[in-house]
Amino acid sequence: MKVYRFLSEDDTSAFCHKVTEALSKGWELYGDPTYAFDGANGVMRCGQAVVKETDAEYSSDMKLGAQ
């Protein structure tokens, strides 16, 4: 099964670390990154989709980051 996650964070090094950690755990980039202004908080936010093949059976309560 292919598992999908969307990672997001304020535009700081924390976002790069979040994506790098996912890549180090076998996740792969999926599509282009996104970048948008969060008007409610007055900050720029980044986003990146990642995917990973896993042998787990899908369940709506599964912890995607733990795969």
Neighbours of 43 (CB within 10 A): 11
Q: Strands 28-38, 2-10: parallel, antiparallel or unpaired by DSSP?
A: unpaired
Q: What is the mean pLDDT of the chain?
A: 94
Contact indicator for 25, 66 with CB cutoff of 8 Å: no
Note the pLDDT of residue 64. Answer: 82
Residue 59, pLDDT > 90, answer: no
Note the pLDDT of residue 29. Answer: 98
What mean pLDDT do residues 40-59 have? Answer: 94
Residue 18, pLDDT > 90, answer: yes
Residue 65, pLDDT > 90, answer: no
Residue 54: CB partners within 8 Å, gap ≥ 6?
A: 1, 2, 3, 67
Confidence tier at 66 by pLDDT (50, 70, 90):
confident
